[in-house]
Every structure is written in structure tokens, then in C-alpha cells.
Amino acid sequence: MFDSRHIKTFHAVVTTGSYSAAARALGYTQPAITQQMKALERAVGTPLFTRAGRRMRLTEAGEAMARHAETILDSLTAAQQQMSSLTRLRAGRVRVCAFPSAGATIVPEALARLAADHPGVRVELLEGEPPESLRRLVRGECDITLAFTYPGLREQVPDELVEIPLMEDQLTVLLPAGHPFARRRAVKLAELADERWIAGCLRCRANFLHECAEEGFAPDIAFTTDDILVVQSLVAEGLGVAMMPGLVLSFLRHDKITGRALDPASRRQVSAYVLREHLRIPATMLVLDELKAVAARRVGC
């Protein structure tokens, strides 16, 4: 292992032609230069310089080292500049894995804020539903995962992950515009026991079945799809109703449907997850801060 300080000093000796000239250029004493060159020669295992009268020449090993020294120093300078850019948030890459309704609401707003203030930080967006999205985080396929949990179906988070709560997302029922309950402000789940239902992802479906069981009925699930726009289209055509998160209400695309809150209220917890050691990475923390700021304005939605 070579000490980078010794490589820098060796390069100065070669370019200036002597120990004394290198000492003046670097602001060292000549004995300090001599000691560093002896240390480098010990690390190499052979002399790097030889003297011919009053002139100092490079040995074969010294010539080889001289060919590499400038490249080594250039690489070190480039590495220092890149590390400085990363720590000062002029550059960096953060991979965010988000479930669809967060990817359509929280994430774009957070990334727009980030791009305005830190254009050098690149964010790559992946889509995934929990629990698979959490497994992707553990496998190192992303740096931040946005996921949700339901109170009645709490799952164990892997020990290596840190959960950062972002917001509570109130569940709603999507109804066709002409539905008898469409004019109400809130609907009791048991009142919809005879409806046909459209179910979503596995975690949402499990919570839906759990809540229906709590109300004493088994729902008639006619369709199952993870695609939020498909759910909206099915509801708009009167083919069923659906329990959906409140985040979805901000991007409804059909004027034939309406969303109504459940009575009593039902909510899910939306959180960000990171590997514990990633809390020390500036770019990751910056993205987390933006996500928290955006989510804070949506609390209780």
C-alpha cells in the first residue's frame, strides 16, 4: 500500500529535479522530503533514485513509478472532487421505489422541489407494492422505499431497515356518480355489504377483507386489479365499488365517479424506509426531507 502523500512528494521530486526544489515547491523541509522518499522506497521494496555525481536519476523502478504517479494523483483529485460534490449535494443518485398512488402524488411534488434547489441530484423512480418493495430495498435495488401498512395487518419490518412515518392516508369508497350514497359525506362499510367490489393489491385486499369481516360480511369481489385507472373505469361504468386510499382522490380521471369517506374513519400509514447506514448519505437524506415536507401537507387526506 502506497501513501498518497508520498506519491505526491515523489511526483514533485521528479518534476522539479531535486529534493531541495521539491521541498521549496511543497513547503517542506529537505529532511522531510528525504524521509518520505525513504518510506516510499521501503513500500516499493527497491530504490527509486540513484545519484550520478551531483545529479539524481531515476532507477528502472523509479521510471515505472513516475509513469503511474501522475495518473494516480489525477485519480485522487477526481475522487476528491466527486466526493465533495456528493457531500455538498451538487451531485448524487437516489433510487426511490414507490407504490402507485404515492408515485402519482407525493413523489412528483417532492422531486420538483428537489430539482429546483439541487439539480445535480439525480433521482430514479421505480414502482413496487409492499412487501416486495421492502425486499427490494434489503437487496440493494433501491435506496428509499415508500410503503404503507394497515393498523389491523401490521407486519414486521426487517431489522436492517429504518421506518420514517410520512402521513396517514384516509381510506375512501369510490362510487358511481349516480349511486344512492353518492350525495353523502361518509358511508358505513356495512351499508355496502350487498355491492359488487373491485379489489386492489394483495395488501390492500387483505385489509379490505379484514375490515369487511369486522363488519360481519364477506364481500362479493367481482374484479381484482392493481391498476388504479382500471379501477376508476370499472366504477364509472357501474360494475362495482372499491375501497381506495385518499391519495387517489387527487388524480381521479372520471367525472362519473365520486369518493366518500368511511364512517368510522379507516386509515393506512404511509412511511419511507431506508437501510440504517443510508441515513448518513446526504443525497438520501435530502430526498427524505423533501418527501416529509410534501407528505406533511397531506396529513389526513
CATH number at 126 reads: 3.40.190.10
pLDDT in tens, 183-237: 999 999 999 999 999 998 888 999 999 999 999 999 999 999 988 889 999 999 9
Instruction: With CA atoms as reference, report the closest residue to 286 among 168, 130, 104, 119.
Output: 119
User: What pLDDT is stored for residue 119 in this prediction?
Assistant: 84
Kindly give the confidence (pLDDT) of every residue in the chain, 301 residues in length, as a single tens digit, with 9 standing for 90 and above.
678 888 888 888 888 888 889 898 888 898 999 999 899 899 888 888 887 666 788 888 888 888 888 788 777 766 665 555 445 545 578 899 999 999 999 999 999 998 888 888 889 999 999 989 999 998 888 999 999 999 877 777 888 899 999 999 999 999 999 899 999 999 999 999 999 999 988 889 999 999 999 999 999 999 999 888 899 999 999 999 999 998 888 777 678 899 999 999 999 999 999 998 888 888 888 899 999 999 998 755 4
Co-location of 187 and 240 in the same domain: yes
Alpha-helical segments (H) within the chain:
4-16, 19-26, 30-44, 60-87, 100-103, 106-117, 132-138, 202-214, 228-236, 282-296
Co-location of 74 and 121 in the same domain: no
Q: How far apart are CA 291 and CA 143, in angstroms?
A: 14
Co-location of 123 and 11 in the same domain: no
User: What pLDDT is stored for residue 81 in this prediction?
Assistant: 56
How many structural domains compose the chain?
3
- The DSSP string of 115-151 is HHH-TTEEEEEEE--TTHHHHHHHTTS-SEEEEEE-G
Co-location of 33 and 155 in the same domain: no
What's 218's domain CATH number?
3.40.190.290
Q: Answer with the one of 23, 54, 79 that is the final residue of a domain.
A: 79
Write the burial class of residue 112 (CB in 10 Å: 0-12 exposed, 13-18 middle, 19+ buried).
exposed
Q: How far apart are CA 288 and CA 210, in angstroms?
A: 32
Residue 206 to residues 63, 129, 191, 215, 262: CA-CA distances in angstroms? Answer: 70, 13, 20, 14, 17
User: What pLDDT is stored for residue 146 in this prediction?
Assistant: 97
Q: Answer with the one of 79, 114, 145 that is the final residue of a domain.
A: 79
Co-location of 236 and 293 in the same domain: no
pLDDT in tens, 158-179: 888 999 999 999 999 999 998 9
User: What pLDDT is stored for residue 254 in this prediction?
Assistant: 79
Co-location of 163 and 190 in the same domain: no
* Cell numbers found for residue 67: 509513469
The count of residues in the chain is 301
Q: Answer with the one of 49, 79, 109 that is the final residue of a domain.
A: 79
Co-location of 197 and 209 in the same domain: yes
Q: In this structure, are residues 291 and 192 in contact, taking their beta carbons and an 8 Å threshold?
A: no
Q: In this structure, are residues 70 and 11 in contact, taking their beta carbons and an 8 Å threshold?
A: yes
∠ Cα 8 14 18 (to 5°)? 110
Q: How far apart are CA 163 and CA 148, in angstroms?
A: 11
Co-location of 12 and 47 in the same domain: yes
pTM of the model: 0.68
User: What pLDDT is stored for residue 301 in this prediction?
Assistant: 44
176: domain range? 168-267
Q: How far apart are CA 270 and CA 93, in angstroms?
A: 23
Q: In this structure, are residues 280 and 260 in contact, taking their beta carbons and an 8 Å threshold?
A: no
What's 59's domain CATH number?
1.10.10.10
Q: How far apart are CA 43 and CA 54, in angstroms?
A: 26
Co-location of 137 and 186 in the same domain: no
Co-location of 23 and 51 in the same domain: yes
Co-location of 241 and 195 in the same domain: yes
Co-location of 104 and 67 in the same domain: no
User: What pLDDT is stored for residue 91 in this prediction?
Assistant: 56
